[in-house]
Amino acid sequence: MLRVLLILPALFLALSSHAEVSNFRVGIGWLNVDIHPSTLAKKHDHGISLFAEFPQSNYTASRFIVYRLNGENSLRLHGFETQLMWGYGLAKPGLRMYTGPAWHHETWNTANQNQRFNGWGWQLGTGIQYQAITVDIAATYRQANDYHRFNRRQGLRQQPDPILANLLISYRF
């Protein structure tokens, strides 16, 4: 994994010297999943995400994220989220702000069971684009139905607050 993080910037620089600029972006992210209260992920469980983003205009874009998390207590999570982004600055250098609906599908592998969760959410993000590099911080607040059913089976009665947060860095091709 460390090799990927070291090779990725060099690949971006090599490709940038030859390609005509478009708005298609590819990147990597640091992922945090927090579902509180729950026996699943906690604030300190982190993972990695890979994503592709395509701004259709300076005000609309779409993003597809795949992610993986290896937490404590044999917790493993992998899944994807697709996002529709409405905002400002999505296709031009400078400040970016956006919000919009998201849909996720993920599989949780714990020590004694596998669970699948999917559903809608609402994401909010901001960032900055300098030349071909974009850095964003974004979070998705998810529909809690699947997580609440899981909690009830575990004996927890409280409604959970599932949040997926990402620190994303991408390169525009």
What per-residue confidence (pLDDT) applies to 84? 97
Please, which pLDDT band fits residue 68 given cuts at 50, 70 and 90? very high
- Is the pLDDT confidence value at 151 over 70? no
Break the chain into its structural domains and give their ranges: 21-172
Q: Which residues contact 155 (CB under 8 A, 6 or more apart)?
A: none
pTM of the predicted model as reported, rounded to 2 decimal places: 0.79
- Is the pLDDT confidence value at 46 over 80? yes
Segment 132-136 shows an average pLDDT of 96
What per-residue confidence (pLDDT) applies to 7? 57
Q: Which CATH architecture describes the domain 21-172?
A: Beta Barrel (2.40)
Q: Give the E-state strand segments of 110-151 in sequence order.
A: 114-130, 133-142
Please, which pLDDT band fits residue 11 given cuts at 50, 70 and 90? low
Q: Which residues contact 32 (CB under 8 A, 6 or more apart)?
A: 43, 45, 46, 47, 164, 165, 166
Please, which pLDDT band fits residue 19 given cuts at 50, 70 and 90? very low
